[in-house]
Structure formats: C-alpha cells, structure tokens
C-alpha cells in the first residue's frame, strides 16, 4: 500500500462519516476525534502527491519557527503569505482601515515599525520553542535542549518540545495546533519524530504539517548524527471544512505517486543556520494543484 493512502483514507472517512459541527470560523466542518498516521522516512519524503503541495512555503514556515519567529514580516520577505489573514483581520477590526491583503503585506515589508505593531502573531510556535519564559525572568530554548538530549542521552523519554503554554494562550493570534513534538532514537541509530496536533485542517494544514514534521526530523538527524526512522503523527479534532468537500473528492480520484527524496546541503553546522537554499526535494512529480479558501 502506498503510504499516502493513510491520508486518502482519512479524507474518505471524513466525507462519509465525519461529525457535522459548527466551528469557531463559522464555516462548518466534518470532524472525527483521533487519527494516527506513520511514514517510514527511508521510503521517501512524505509530501503528498495527489495534489501539488507547496513544500517550499511549508519549509520556510518551519525554518521561521525554528528561528524563534513570531512576526509575519520574516515570512512575507520570503513571499510566504499563509499567516497574513490573522494579523490583517485584527488590523481591520482595530483601525477600520480597509487595506487589501496585498497593500497590508507590502506595508509590513516596507515599514518595520508598522510590522512591529501589526505583524506580530504573539508568542506562537517559535517563541515558545526557543524562548519559553520562566517565572524568574529567564527563558528556555527547548529545541537546543532536544539537540543536547539527542547527543547526550538518546534513550531519554523526555526529548520533547511543547508550544502549549497555557499562561500565554490569550496573547497568541491562534493557539498552537501542532502543539507537541517528541523524538526517539532506536538502538540501531535511527531518529523518529512524533507530533501531536490538537486541531487539523485536513485539506490545507495537514499536508504542510506532515511535510514539516518530516523535515524537522531529517534536520535533527543530520545535526545529531543519526539516520532517519519514522514519523508518527497524531491528530485529535481532525476536520474537513465544508467548503473543501469538492477538493477532497477530486483528490480521491487520483492515484498517489512515488514520494520524492529530501536533499540537505552537507556542512551546515547548526540546526539554526539552515536556509531554504540548503534544502531540496528531488523527483517530486505531483498531480496538479487544488486551490481552496482558508477558514479564518
């Protein structure tokens, strides 16, 4: 069985038997509670092929999170527009100025003060991963700690970073969805990575989340001298937005193709020094893109 069938099976189950519910965005979803997928990274890089996944966009987002980023300016400077809707909505509500999305994005890139005021998402993923605040005024770099444990104590059962900082949830543009990562080194020297995702937009978010979990597992393996093992992904409220049904049906008519392979430029000496130019996917031959509206 092609491993992407796990994803197509999820879409099938959501369409056929998902619980119909009204959600925060007002769009409405079909949802199920609890789903697991596993991908053996030795069998190719798990970027879905039944539609074109914009993996560079996803990877840029992951590198931004690893850098501790929390402002959309650094994303927009690389033409990544997937996070604009949330700050834009706040800007419109608080100023009643009706800039278009493009005008807003141009202003964020051109004007650092404007970006500091309006482009900040609050202490989201990267801020928690790299700068978790402690009660004595210090901060914890959870990713550096994961790297240290991978090297010094690979059998540890505490190789985790977590973005679910309860005390700061109200300052975040959106509470974290992929909220926890854990890593595991097997006795044959393979690094596996897992992610727990509390809320899953199965059409738009999930393909990015899987690719990014695979990417970060590869990068950590590279930096700590292991081969790659598996990724394991657990979704909880896993949903299909009601305006994504047609797209999901289109995708289900297609046959998965062979997964590409990931190439990482050797010689980068720190996890935090990777740039998008250092990473490539070879032989990615997906079906055509499928466009869809994101629920804000």
**CB-CB contact of 170 with 200 (8 Å):** no
Task: Indicate whether 243 belongs to the interface with ligand MHF (CB under 6 A).
Answer: no
Give every CB contact of residue 139 below 8 A, 6+ residues apart in sequence.
Answer: 131, 132, 133
Nearest partner of 198 among 233, 168, 227, 236, judged by Cα:
236
Residue positions counted in the chain? 296
Least Cβ distance, residue 206 to ligand LAUPNLSC (angstroms): 6
Task: Indicate whether 222 belongs to the interface with ligand LAUPNLSC (CB under 6 A).
Answer: no
Contact pick of 64, 83, 118, 181 for ligand MHF (by CB under 6 A): 83
Task: Indicate whether 177 belongs to the interface with ligand LAUPNLSC (CB under 6 A).
Answer: yes
Q: Which helix (H) or strand (E) holds 277?
A: none
Q: Which helix (H) or strand (E) holds 257?
A: none
| Distance of alpha carbon 206 from alpha carbon 171, whole angstroms | 24
Residue 241 annotated as part of some ligand binding site: yes
In the chain, which ranges are continuous DSSP H helix? 5-17, 55-66, 72-76, 85-95, 101-110, 112-118, 125-131, 142-152, 205-224, 245-252
SS3 state of residue 90: helix
Residue 198 annotated as part of some ligand binding site: yes
Active site residue 177: yes
Q: Which range, of 81-89, 115-123, 197-205, 215-223, touches ligand LAUPNLSC by CB under 6 A? A: 197-205
Nearest partner of 270 among 158, 167, 151, 182, judged by Cα:
151
Instruction: Considering the candidates 177, 194, 203, 271, report the single residue annotated as catalytic.
Output: 177
First to last CA, the chain: 35
Residue 157 annotated as part of some ligand binding site: yes
Task: Indicate whether 292 belongs to the interface with ligand LAUPNLSC (CB under 6 A).
Answer: no
Residue 240 annotated as part of some ligand binding site: yes
Q: Which range, of 1-9, 36-44, 76-84, 122-130, touches ligand MHF by CB under 6 A? A: 76-84
Which entry of ligand LAUPNLSC, ligand MHF, none binds 83, CB below 5 to 8 A by partner kind?
ligand MHF
Task: Indicate whether 174 belongs to the interface with ligand LAUPNLSC (CB under 6 A).
Answer: yes
Which entry of ligand LAUPNLSC, ligand MHF, none binds 54, CB below 5 to 8 A by partner kind?
ligand MHF
Q: Site residues (CB under 6 A) for ligand LAUPNLSC?
A: 24, 174-175, 177-178, 199-201, 205-206, 209
Catalytic positions are: 177
Q: Site residues (CB under 6 A) for ligand MHF?
A: 54, 57, 81-83, 174, 201, 204-205, 208, 291, 294-295
């Amino acid at each position: 069985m092609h491993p992407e069938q796990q994803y197509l099976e999820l879409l099938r189950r959501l369409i056929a038997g998902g619980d119909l519910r009204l959600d925060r965005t007002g769009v409405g979803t079909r949802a199920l509670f609890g789903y697991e997928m596993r991908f053996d990274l030795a069998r190719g890089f798990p970027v879905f092929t039944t539609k074109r996944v914009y993996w560079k966009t996803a990877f840029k987002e992951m590198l931004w999170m690893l850098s501790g980023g929390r402002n959309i300016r650094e994303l927009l400077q690389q033409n990544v527009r997937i996070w604009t809707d949330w700050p834009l909505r706040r800007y419109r509500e608080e100023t009643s100025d009706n800039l278009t999305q493009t005008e807003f994005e141009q202003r964020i890139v051109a004007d650092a003060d404007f970006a500091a005021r309006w482009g900040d998402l609050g202490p989201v993923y990267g801020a928690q991963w790299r700068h978790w605040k402690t009660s004595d005024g210090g901060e914890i770099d959870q990713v550096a700690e994961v790297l240290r444990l991978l090297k010094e104590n690979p059998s540890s059962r505490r190789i985790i970073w977590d973005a679910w900082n309860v005390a700061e949830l109200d300052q975040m543009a959106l509470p974290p969805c992929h909220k926890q990562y854990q890593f595991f080194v097997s006795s044959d020297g393979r690094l596996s990575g897992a992610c727990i995702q509390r809320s899953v937009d199965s059409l738009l978010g999930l393909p990015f989340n899987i690719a990014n979990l695979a990417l970060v597992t590869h990068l950590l393996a590279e930096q700590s001298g292991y081969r790659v093992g598996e990724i394991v992904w657990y979704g909880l409220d896993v949903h299909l937005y009601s305006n994504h049904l047609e797209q999901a049906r289109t995708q289900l008519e297609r046959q998965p193709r062979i997964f590409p392979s990931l190439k990482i430029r050797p010689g980068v000496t720190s996890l935090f020094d990777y740039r998008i130019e250092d990473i490539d996917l070879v032989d990615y031959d997906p079906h055509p893109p499928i466009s869809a509206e994101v629920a804000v």
